[in-house]
Amino acid sequence: MVKKGFIYFLLLLLFLPLAAKKKGEEEFRLVHSDKLFMTKMENEQVLELNGNVHFFYGEVEFLCRNALILDKQKIARLSGNVIVKNDSLTLEADTLAYYRIPDLMNLGGRITATERTKEGIYRWMKSNFATYDKKNEVLTAWSRVRGFDYQENARVKCGYAQWDRGNGYALMLDEPYLTSGIEDTLAVAAEKMEYFESERKLIATFNVQVDRGEFQTTSDFLIYFLEEEKAIFTGEPKFVSDFAAAKATEFHLYMKERELVKAELIDSCHIDFAEERLGEKKNKVDADLITLDFLNEQLRKFVAEGTVSYFYQQEETEKKDFMINSATGLYLQANFHEDSKLQNMQMRTNINGKYVFKK
């Protein structure tokens, strides 16, 4: 035991030049290794560490099963349950190559990057391959990327992601798919997504699809403000629910705790709607501005303003006669019962229309 410890001490002395850096440079500090082998070549010093390896480069902590450190080339190769701890970020992988110049890490196999801050912010990202630019604090991941943000209660998956920690920016490509709230409560798919942490803003572009369960919206462009729970859709947006199908130049959706409470359709608005949920959408409204109010996920009222025209067909029942009403004006309001069944419609200002009844 004494002999083994003495040899270990001698190897450390031989390797001392690796740790003896000038003031201000990163220092290598070996905390523990079951085995240590030192090889000196003409232009290189190689340190091989095996078993419960634990060391530091400056303030960055490394743990693994095996490590190979090339002093002159300033390269460290780690394998087996690799863990890297750098301020609030922890990286885990099967393998890691650390290039001290230019301060870059290449990671492979079952990668997890976890961030925990003193303010309680917690998020993680998993992938098969990744690089971490330590100098610029940029993590790039690809192949089966998965992510979770505790503060936003959001999950994401895609084929490629880049997380700029310094600037609070994330980019997601290759079929990004995001769910917010309880899983599948609000789902967003697009060709490209960007997240801006300081503004708590998500931007999705090209073939955007939003599914809330009770409604689906498609467009070419989406801005979602998570603080306000407000979504702005442009680029031929369309809205579909069990009650109505709508389109306009621009949509604004307002939510509370991921539940839709209000929708605004702006410019060239058109709605096809049914008298009741899951009914045939044979009634129509066109206007410059349409506002829809929801309560408990049910449509309770919509107001159409500007140049308004509508068509409404009432089917014959025991209590109602068959009737078709079409008209134009400047204001239309429709009210609905708690079950989203049409209660009444009111029109005013410059009304011009007609009623058709069964003989």
What's the confidence (pLDDT) of residue 23? 43
Q: Which domain holds residue 242?
A: 2-357
Nearest Cα neighbor of 283 from 235, 332, 250 is: 332
Question: What is the Cα 71 distance to its own chain's centre?
Answer: 40
Question: What confidence score (pLDDT) does residue 161 get?
Answer: 97
pLDDT number for residue 77:
94
- Given a cut of 50, the residues of the chain with pLDDT beneath it are 1-7, 9-11, 13-25
Residues 279, 253 contacting (CB under 8 angstroms) = no
Domain with residue 32: its CATH number is 2.60.450.10
Antiparallel, parallel or unpaired: β 138-149 and 283-295 = unpaired
Residue 125: both structure tokens together: 């990202």
Element (H, E) at 286: strand 283-295
Asked if 301 and 333 count as a contact pair (C-beta separation under 8 A), the reply is yes
Residues counted in the chain? 359
Which tokens hold the place of 138? 């940029």
Contacts of 238 (CB under 8 A, 6+ apart): 217, 218, 219, 245, 246, 247
CB 66 within 8 A of CB 81: no
The answer to whether 236 and 248 are in contact (CB under 8 A) is no
Asked whether the CA dihedral 58, 64, 65, 70 is positive or negative, the reply is negative
pLDDT of residue 24: 42
Dihedrals phi, psi of 135, to nearest 5 degrees:
-60, -45
Work out whether strand 60-70 and strand 75-86 pair parallel, antiparallel, or are unpaired.
antiparallel
Nearest-angstrom CA–CA distance, 92 and 87: 14
Region label for 140, one of left (φ > 0), alpha (ψ between -120 and 50) or beta (otherwise): beta
Q: Is the distance from CB of 139 to CB of 130 less than 8 angstroms?
A: yes
What does the pLDDT read at residue 151?
Answer: 80
Is 7 in a helix, a strand, or coil? helix
Contacts of 25 (CB under 8 A, 6+ apart): none
pLDDT of residue 312: 82
Is the peptide bond between 17 and the residue preceding it cis, with omega within 30 degrees of 0? no
Q: Quick: pLDDT tens for 128-154.
A: 999 999 999 999 999 999 999 888 888
Closest CA to 75 of 59, 53, 99: 99
Q: How far apart are CA 67 and CA 52, in angstroms?
A: 10
Domains contained in the chain, number = 1
The three-point CA angle 281-283-286 to 5° equals 115
Report the distance separating Cα 70 and Cα 63, nearest Å.
Answer: 17
29 - beta bridge partners? 56
Amino acid at 88: S
- List 89's β-bridge partners, or say none: 86, 115
Q: Identify the bridge partners of residue 233 per DSSP, sorted by sequence position.
A: 222, 251
pLDDT of amino acid 22: 44
Q: Which tokens belong to 46?
A: 């190689």
Write the DSSP symbol of residue 316. Answer: P
- How many Å from the N-terminal Cα to the C-terminal Cα in the chain? 110
Structure-block tokens of residue 111? 């990668």
